[in-house]
């Protein structure tokens, strides 16, 4: 998380909703959104830039479909890492190129003993496993246990969106 906290007003939220559904593929996509919201183009661009700098919008991007691009294996590696070490080690794991997301989340004993999640992408399972070995080495003795959960089916995927 970067930047300073930002209060999002109703216009910001409407703008996020308008853009996250997908920019129209036309020469002036932000003009189309500006017209739909009844705002000047420059205000749209300024608000998007402000939210991007403040971190409320991570990026505006073409969202690749990893599965269609050949990255068929996606493993959610999960680890029980000592509380004192997790921030330092989590940053190291998160910096690995094959790790797209790396989060600290609460343990829920006894069902769920893991507090570090690192999502690993690869073209095949062997590639994911090689990356998981790197993570295991990096965590060392600070990780008491770990495992990898492979996805067997994508049941719904639409990306993080605002709802209301």
Partner 1 sequence: MHPLAADPINRRLLDEHQRGFPLAGRPFARIGAGLGLSEDEVLARFAALQAAGLIGRIGAVVAPHRAGWSTLAAMAVPAATLAAVAALVGSYPGVNHNYEREHALNLWFVATGRDRAEVQAVLAEIARRTGLEVLDLPLEEAFHIDLGFPLRWT
Footprint on residues 67-96 left by partner 1 (CB under 8 A):
68-71, 76, 87, 90-91, 93-95
- Of the two residues 27 and 137, which places its CB atom closer to partner 1 in the complex? 27
Q: How far is the CB of 39 from partner 1 (least distance, A)?
A: 14
Residue 14 touching partner 1 (CB under 8 A): no
Residue 155 touching partner 1 (CB under 8 A): yes
The string of DSSP codes covering 13-39 is HHHHHHHHT---SSS-HHHHHHHHHT-
Residue 109 touching partner 1 (CB under 8 A): no
Q: How far is the CB of 141 from partner 1 (least distance, A)?
A: 19
Q: How far is the CB of 33 from partner 1 (least distance, A)?
A: 11
Site residues for partner 1, 24-63, by CB under 8 A, read 25-31, 41, 45, 48-49, 52, 55-63
Phi and psi of 139, rounded to 5°? Answer: -75, -35
């Amino acid at each position: 998380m970067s930047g300073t906290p930002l209060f999002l007003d109703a216009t910001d939220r409407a703008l996020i909703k308008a853009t996250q559904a997908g920019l129209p593929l036309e020469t002036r996509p932000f003009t189309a959104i500006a017209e739909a919201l009844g705002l000047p183009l420059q205000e749209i661009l300024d608000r998007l830039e402000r939210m991007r700098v403040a971190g409320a919008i991570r990026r505006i991007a073409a969202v690749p479909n990893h599965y269609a691009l050949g990255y068929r294996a996606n493993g959610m590696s999960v680890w029980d890492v000592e509380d004192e070490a997790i921030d330092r080690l989590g940053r190291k794991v998160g910096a690995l190129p094959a790790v797209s997301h790396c989060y600290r989340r609460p343990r829920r004993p006894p069902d769920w003993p893991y507090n570090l999640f690192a999502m690993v992408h690869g073209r095949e399972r062997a590639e994911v496993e090689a990356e998981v070995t790197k993570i295991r080495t990096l965590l060392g003795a600070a990780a008491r246990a770990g495992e990898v959960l492979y996805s067997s089916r994508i049941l719904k995927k639409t990306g993080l969106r605002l709802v209301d």
